Every structure is written in structure tokens, then in C-alpha cells.
Amino acid sequence: MSESLFATTALDERNRKVERLYRRVFLTMTLLLILPVFLILTVLISRGASAWSLSFLFTSPENGMTAGGVFPALLGTIFLVAAALLFSVPLGIAAAIYLSEYASDNWLTRLINLAIINLAGVPSIVHALFGVGAFVLFFRFGTSILAASLTLAIMTLPVVIVSTRESLQAVPRAFREASWSMGATRWQTIRHIVLPNAVSGILTGVILEVSRTAGETAPIMFTGAAFFLPFLPQSVYDQTMALSLHLFVISTQVPGVPEDLPYGVALLLIAIVLAMNSLSIAFRMYLRSHKKW
């Protein structure tokens, strides 16, 4: 009698077949998503690795940008990404803390959430025009690193806000209640309990921001990036070269460029993004391994 209770039935077999089918379908979809990435990297490495050298990384473009290196564009990209992070991350985290921990559910907060969602869907070229009107003309920053970085920060701000807010809300409410019961204020609870447990999720938004910021061309083309500069920027009010714009220029605007040069620049841009993301992911994994829950 007991053996018949645990015997495999036709329904069990059918469920297992369906489960195996869906597993294969999901595996196939995953491989189809990953395959283009490997194909792109393979093409870039095979056609662009020959352009890499110490002079490619640490010298300026020469001979009408048909020779030389990409050092000014590489340095400019790092400046733009770092400045955009400096502006957007503190502001995005502060906004997420207010919306998650302080704001009540009313028409104002719903309007703010709607604005954040709409801001995330605005095309980058629209952000570029906004940056020209707001930072270049109205605030009189001119076409500069400062104007370009602020434009990139505004463009990526919704990602930081959304990821931070979701991370804060993922922290169990029991943690907050235990802190309050010990006499801690709301801000002390947020600072010492909520944020340390949400920081790994916050880094997810930062990783996405780095990836998007480093590869954007339209916003910086109108606000701070230069076609070519024979010198390095001396302050945030100077223009700078950037890898994304440099890649566009040598691929479409400059005749006589060696075939491997655009692929080498594209490979360098992807390598920078992968390196920054890898460091952020490693730090996030370290923080997650030290979680208590």
C-alpha cells in the first residue's frame, strides 16, 4: 500500500517532461542572449587587438587622427564617468531614501515616481539638448567637462534612484523596528542599519550607470566633448576628448584611418566598461558575503 502511494503517476511524468522542456527553452534563450556578446568580443579582439600597444594607450592622435594613440580620449572618458558618478550617486541615493523611508503615499510622491519613470525613457539626444539649454547656456558653464558630466548625471539619475529604492525596500522591516525599539532615531536607523544592508543592491544601479555613461555619445557631443584637442584639459571648464565620440569620428569622419584602429578603440571602450563593472561586481559580492540575513 505504501509503495503505491509514492509510485510515479502519469501526471508526474507529464509534469517532469514539461519541466525539462521549459528548462531547455530557458537555457536556449539564455545562450541566444549571451552568444551576440561573445561574437562581438571575438570580432573586436580579432580585428582590434593588433592596434593595442603602449603608444596606443599613452600618446595623442597624430597625422589627422589616422595614427597615434587615444590617451586624451581615454583620460577624458574617465573624467566624464567619474564626475557623472560624483553628481548622480549622492543625489540619487538621497532621493531614494526620501521616497522609501520618509515620504508618505500621496499625490506628490506618485507624481515624483511618474517623473522618474518618464525621465528614464527620455532619448539621450533630448538629454543632450536639455544639457545645452540648462548647463551650457543658462548656467554659463560653456561646452565643458562640467556641463557634459551634469548632463550624463541627469540622464542616469533614474537608474540610481530606482535601484537604490528597491534595495532599501528589500531590507526587512523587522530590522528597522528592532532599531527603533532600542531608541534609535529614524536617521540613525537608516544610516547604521538600512544603508549597510542595502549597499550591495545600490551598487547594481552604479554599475548600470557606469556602463551607460561611458558609451554615450550624443549628450557629450553637444555639451563638452571635442573632435580633437592637442592638449589635456586643465579644469572642469575645459572641453575634453572622449572614447565614444573619438570612435564615431574616426569611423565616419576621417578618411585614411587604418582598419584596425576603430576596432581597437571600440575594444578599449568595452574593456574599460568591463573592468569598472568587474570591480563593482566583486565589491558587491564581497558585501553580500558579509550579510547577516
CATH number at residue 89: 1.10.3720.10
Task: Answer whether residue 241 is part of any domain.
Answer: yes
30 with 153, same domain? no
44 with 107, same domain? no
**pLDDT at residue 114, as a whole number:** 87
As a whole number of angstroms, the distance between CA 254 and CA 250 comes to 5
DSSP characters over 85-126: HHHHHHHHHHHHHIIIII--SSHHHHHHHHHHHHHHTS-HHH
194 with 118, same domain? yes
40 with 89, same domain? no
Task: Answer whether residue 284 is part of any domain.
Answer: yes
16 with 154, same domain? no
pLDDT in tens, 236-258: 999 999 999 999 999 988 888 89
221 with 160, same domain? yes
Task: Answer whether residue 113 is part of any domain.
Answer: yes
Task: Answer whether residue 58 is part of any domain.
Answer: no
19 with 150, same domain? no
Task: Give the domain extent around 14.
Answer: 8-51
35 with 172, same domain? no
31 with 117, same domain? no
As a whole number of angstroms, the distance between CA 127 and CA 134 comes to 10
**pLDDT at residue 293, as a whole number:** 59
207 pLDDT band, cuts 50/70/90, is confident
Domain count, the chain: 2
186 with 102, same domain? yes
86 pLDDT band, cuts 50/70/90, is very high
Asked if the model's pLDDT at residue 283 lies above 60, the reply is yes
Task: Answer whether residue 202 is part of any domain.
Answer: yes
**pLDDT at residue 127, as a whole number:** 92
Task: Answer whether residue 37 is part of any domain.
Answer: yes
Among the residue ranges 19-33, 142-156, 189-203, the one predicted with the least confidence is 189-203
Task: Answer whether residue 281 is part of any domain.
Answer: yes
154 pLDDT band, cuts 50/70/90, is very high
As a whole number of angstroms, the distance between CA 69 and CA 58 comes to 6
Task: Answer whether residue 56 is part of any domain.
Answer: no
40 with 142, same domain? no
138 with 232, same domain? yes
As a whole number of angstroms, the distance between CA 47 and CA 264 comes to 8
